[in-house]
Amino acid sequence: MSVPGPNDITRHVLPNELTLLIRENRTSPSVVVTGVLRVGAYDESPDQAGLADFTAEMLMRGTENRSFDRIYEELESVGASLGISGGTHGTGFGGKSLGEDLPLMLDVLSDFLRHPTFPPDEVEKVRGEILADLADRAHDTRRMANLTFYELAYPDGHPYAISSSGYPETISGIERDDLLAFYRGGYSPEGMILVVVGAVETEEVVAQVEDAFGDWDGMTFAREPLPEAPPITDVRERRVSIPDKTQSDVVLGYPGPPRTHPRYLDTRLCNTILGVFGLMGRLGEKVRDEQGLAYSSYSHLSGGPGPGPWRIVAGVNPANVERAVESIRAEVRRICEEPVQEDELSDSQAFLTGSMPLHLETNSGVAGTILSMERYDLGLDYLQRYKDLIDEITPERVQAAAERWLDPDAYALAIAGPPEDE
Amino acid sequence: MTTSNHSNGRFVQTELSNGLSVLVQEAHAAPVASFWIWYRVGSRNEHLGTTGISHWVEHMLFKGTPAFPKGTAEKAIAREGGAFNGATSYDFTTFFATLPTDRVDLSLQIEADRMANAVFDPEEVEAERTVIISERQGAENSPEFLLNEELMGAALRVHPYRNPTVGHMCDLETITRAQLYEHYQTYYAPNNALAVAAGDFDADAMVGLIEEHFGGIDGGDGVPPVTAVEPPQRGERRVVVRREGFVPYLKVAFRAPTVRESDFFAMTVLNAILTGASAMTFRGGGLTNKSSRLYKALVAAELAVGVSGMLLPTVDPFLYSISAMVRPEHSPAEVEEVVEVELARVATDAVTQEEVDKAIKQAQAQFAYSSESVTGHALWLGFSEIFADHTWAESYLDTLAAVTAEDVRRVAETYLERSSRTVGWYVPTDNEQMSNDK
């Protein structure tokens, strides 16, 4: 098996600016489709938070050619799945089927992206489902800790400080006309990426995609530059009390680097050492293992189109919250103040480069990687250069990444769990 | 030893002289290999006082041996770019690693070592006690966990499947190092284990490698039989959990056939028709279920936010369950009523051949998805050997394809009976409408 690269990925840009990438893989009879549209919560106003996600959720609820029932009957009857959901910068879609059913998937995808009808009764159904989910969120410690973290870590009014799922009051206020207007203003092939990987014939896929999307045109919303997400210079802590819970969820973190940052991989390697390698890196070793404070403790780097967060996450007994936070801060301090050991560095480098064959074993793994290569302009030869890019990183560069983005004394900290007096 | 040729490579099944069962499948699509050790031990083998002990032992097998002190095994695997983990369920405990093929011997070395030489350092036992209690407390934050735990306890009176795999809190607080070590010595031995490998290797060479690493381990004294037999259920049972929250849940469980009974396949088709094609193993997600009968009756009808079904393969008879997240403005009682109507409809009017064909095609597609990775290959081999034998997985699609609409009607009538069901409600106390109902 060769690493996916320019020699076996076909990249084809349609005149309407849709970028199509295809890689054949005949080791199993299945195919994966994934991609993104350049429309999202970025393009909604704060008083309509959740509009982009609500709009995406409506697309599969009925089209000019298919009812909601028919869309899912057609897909599920052949064991295919297809879905779409709104994010902040983009709206992602994805699905899988047997290779023989790719034409059906592309036809359904094109149908709901281009010809949705927003049936009024389905608008109310979806609204009810979103409101029920938001009611559930209010009682979920993990989700509330994350929601609160974003509010603390980003300035007021920044798109990242606002939930892309919305809030009960904003979702209740969105009208069908708002959904239609958002759809008409933002959904277009401009900047759309579509990736197909699996048991397919490249030439046939190009023809099918041109057929399904070639005569779609239009533009997406014009975007103002994203507001700054300045580094945090103080301690911003907030607790959310949810009675009757037995565990507290802790999120401590910072605005992080975009995936396009020239030193992004330094940060990724630093994060691997801090909270991924082995069983969750240094955090797993100290917070979970040595102190037995938590079932889970790890770190996560978002690495999206903007300054998405670098978060440390732990689930702990409510009585241990302070100790866990101190233990997390001590690890942040250590990685900022001391260069990592050479062997620790080479272990994590070996992990990042050596795990590539595993990651590329499935169609969805390959498709996700190709999507990133295109979306973040990494180049189709990225995987071929990847090992060198990782291996050239030094302890100094890891420490510089930690110092640039982390701070043991200034951070956003959100804790959701039972009230302190329980 | 039996060998055969599959489309993707040779398959070998054998047993070492110490009783270790060995299943090896070649798969040459990518330069990777997956190695799994399965122990026939889980909550099925546990009793009140030591519930959760298998899961805790699984954790302790990550806490070091003289050759691989704590932390070194996972680091050695990660250094090779491998994936490494363990899982405990009702009938089994399993450990696996997937690695570039030329380094797979590392995982054999680690598994053979911790099969015999795990230390169970008393300090590590205590540190892990708090980790596992924390794991349980995290689960208790979820209404679905709480409802499921109550429902299992009510639906099964005798069989240990009624206990949660993580264990009851009183047991997690009191299990001793000596009990853990005895459990380890009893169950984690070659004669109670299964070694499974799938990947880009020569099957005979892999069998040789397994022999080399595991052949010298003492076979074990044998494990105590599980004698528990769940008595018949003579009437409906009901449980109510009242706790914080805003969203109600409903869960209904029925007695189900085991995987070795032919009715299991008709039940699989029935479940797909009612709630959609769910994932077939404990890894990997299912498909959407928006064209299923209960989705239409509950979610499209705006009574529920979501609905799912579970038919878990198990060694001893277990349950088939249907779960729904109820819309806050509705009650579990309303959803229960509609579920009952839909189940009766299947049992009396039967299903259509189109619905049966659809369920079969869904299973074929899911098989194709799971065969993309060697991890998926090895998982399926081991998983089916635990409950039946590996030929069960090979013939799965053919057996499923033989199910008729009448089979589905018959199993609905036989198993989805009101008198053998257990109904659970989660009633959220912050939802005034729900509270006022009472």
Which residue range is the domain that position B378 belongs to?
A: 237-437
Q: What is d(CA B382, CA B195) in angstroms, rounded to the nearest whole number?
A: 8
Residue B29: closest C-alpha in chain A: A27
CA A237 distance to own-chain centroid: 25
pLDDT digits (tens, 9 = 90+) for A113-141: 999 999 999 999 999 999 999 999 999 99
Among B407, B382, B368, B379, which residue's Cα sits nearest to residue B268? B407
**pLDDT over threshold 80, residue B275:** yes
Q: Do A358 and B363 touch (CB under 8 A)?
A: no
Q: Which residues on A lie below 8 Å from B136 (Cβ)?
A: 246
Q: Give the residue from chain B lying closest to A281, CA to CA.
A: B75
pLDDT of amino acid A299: 97
Distance from C-alpha of B286 to C-alpha of B369, rounded to nearest angstrom: 10
B242 and B206 share a domain?
no
Paired tokens of A241:
């009390």
Are A350 and B362 inside 8 Å of each other by CB? no
Using DSSP's 3-state secondary structure scheme, residue B40 falls into coil
| End residue of a domain, out of B180, B214, B248 | B214
* In-domain check, residue B7: yes
Tell me how far apart the alpha carbons of residues B7 and A30 are, in angstroms, rounded to a whole number: 16
Q: How far apart are CA B48 and CA B252, in angstroms?
A: 25
Local structure of B262: helix, strand or coil: coil
Q: Cβ–Cβ of B78/A83 closer than 8 Å?
A: no
- B14 and B106 within one domain: yes
Q: How much is the pLDDT for A291?
A: 73
Render pLDDT for B42-62 as a digit per residue (tens, 0 to 9): 999 999 999 999 999 999 999
**Using the beta-carbon criterion (under 8 Å), do B134 and A295 form an inter-chain contact?**
yes
CA dihedral A312, A246, B139, A163 (to 10 degrees): -50
Minimum-distance CB partner of A292 among B130, B289, B365: B130
Q: Cα-flanking dihedrals φ and ψ of residue A238, to 5°?
A: -145, 140
Residues B275 and B390 both lie in one domain: yes
Residue B395, pLDDT score: 86
Task: Report the pLDDT value the prediction gives residue B435, as an integer from 0 to 100.
Answer: 54
Cβ <8 Å between A79 and B361: yes
Look at residues A164, A151, A166 and name the one whose alpha carbon lies nearest to residue A229: A151
Closest-CA distance of chain A to residue B179, Å: 20
Please report whether residue B232 resides in a domain.
no
Question: What is the torsional sign of CA A330, B82, B138, A143?
Answer: positive
Query: Which one of B70, B75, B354 makes the best mutation probe of the A interface by having the most chain A beta carbons within 10 Å?
Result: B75
pLDDT digits (tens, 9 = 90+) for B364-373: 888 888 878 8
Q: Is residue B398 part of a domain?
A: yes
Q: Taking the domains of chain A in order of start, what are their residue ranges?
A: 10-213, 235-417
* CATH 3.30.830.10 for the A10-213 domain, yes or no: yes
Mutation pick from A97, A139, A197 vs chain B, by most beta carbons of B within 10 Å, is A139
| A315, β-bridge pairs | A249, A296
Residue A216 CA to residue B257 CA, distance in Å, equals: 52
Contact state of A351 with B81 under an 8 Å Cβ cutoff: yes
Q: Would you state the pLDDT for residue B142? A: 92
Residue B436 confidence (pLDDT):
52
Angle between helices B353-370 and B405-415 (to 10 degrees): 90
* Sheet strand arrangement including A294-301: A235-241, A411-417, A248-255, A309-316, A294-301
Residue B373 in contact with partner chain A when CB distance is under 8 A: yes
Residues B255 and B394 in one domain: yes
Q: How far is B229 from chain A (nearest CA, A)?
A: 34
pLDDT reported for residue B30? 84
Which residue from A76, A245, A317 is facing B358, i.e. has the nearest CB?
A76
pLDDT > 90: what percent of chain B?
A: 79
Model confidence band, residue A356 (pLDDT cutoffs 50, 70, 90): confident
CA B209/CA B203 separation, integer angstroms? 10
The answer to which of B293-297, B319-323, B394-398 has the lowest mean pLDDT is B394-398
Q: What is the pLDDT of residue B364?
A: 83
Asked whether B96 and B84 are in contact (CB, 8 A), the reply is yes
Q: What pLDDT does B34 receive?
A: 97
A1 to B30: CB separation less than 8 angstroms, yes or no: yes
* One domain for residues B53 and B159: yes
Q: Tell me, yes or no, whether B314 lies in a domain.
A: yes
Do residues B283 and B325 both lie within one domain? yes
Residues B399 and B288 in one domain: yes
Residue B227 within any structural domain of the chain: no
pLDDT for residue A89 is more than 80: yes
Look up the CATH number of the domain holding residue B371.
3.30.830.10
Assign A293 a pLDDT band (cuts: 50, 70, 90): confident
Lowest-pLDDT range of A291-300, A302-311, B28-37, B264-273:
A291-300
Task: Determine contact: B246 vs chain A, CB below 8 A.
Answer: yes
**Of B364, B350, B423, which is closest to residue B397 (Cα–Cα)?**
B364
For residues A43 and A54, the answer to whether their CB atoms sit within 8 Å is: no
**CA A13 – CA A15 distance, rounded (Å):** 7
Whether B111 and B252 map to the same domain: the answer is no
Give the pLDDT confidence of A220-278 residue by residue, as tens digits.
999 989 998 999 999 999 999 998 898 999 999 999 999 999 999 999 999 999 999 98
The pairing of beta strand A19-24 with beta strand A193-198:
parallel
Mean pLDDT computed over every residue of chain A: 95
Which of B 135-164 lie inside 8 A of A, CB atoms? 135-138, 140-141
CB-CB under 8 Å, A141 with B368: no
Same domain, B326 and B202: no
Question: Which one-letter amino acid corresponds to residue B187?
Answer: Y
A235-417 in CATH: which number?
3.30.830.10
% chain B with pLDDT above 70: 95
Find, among B51, B62, B103, the residue nearest to B86 by Cα: B62
Flag whether residue B242 sits within 8 Å of chain A, measured between CB atoms: no
Q: What is the pLDDT of residue A257?
A: 97
Residue A254: its pLDDT value, please? 98
Contacts of residue B379 in chain A, CB cutoff 8 Å? none
Quote the tokens at residue B10.
């040779």
Are B81 and A353 in contact (CB < 8 Å)?
Answer: yes
Query: B66 near A341, Cβ under 8 Å?
Result: no
Which pLDDT score, from 0 to 100, does residue A28 have? 85
Which residue of A28, A66, A317 is the best one to mutate when testing the B interface, meaning the one whose CB has the most B CBs within 10 A? A28
B23 & B124 share domain: yes
CB contact under 8 A, B78 and A1: no
The answer to whether the Cβ–Cβ distance between B373 and A135 falls below 8 Å is: no
**Chain B nearest C-alpha distance from A391 (Å):** 13
Same fold, A10-213 and A235-417: yes
The residue-averaged pLDDT of B17-32 equals 93
Assess if residue B65 is contained within a domain: yes
**Per-residue pLDDT tens over the stretch B215-266:** 999 999 999 999 999 999 999 999 999 998 889 999 999 999 999 999 999 9
CB contact under 8 A, A78 and B30: no
- In this predicted structure, the answer to whether residue A22 has a pLDDT above a threshold of 60 is yes
pLDDT band at A111 (very low <50, low <70, confident <90, very high): very high
Number of domains in chain B: 2
Residue A174, pLDDT score:
98
Question: Which residues 403-432 in chain B show a CB within 8 A of chain A?
Answer: 428, 430
CA-nearest residue of chain A to B84? A278
C-alpha to C-alpha distance for A267 and A276, rounded to whole angstroms: 12
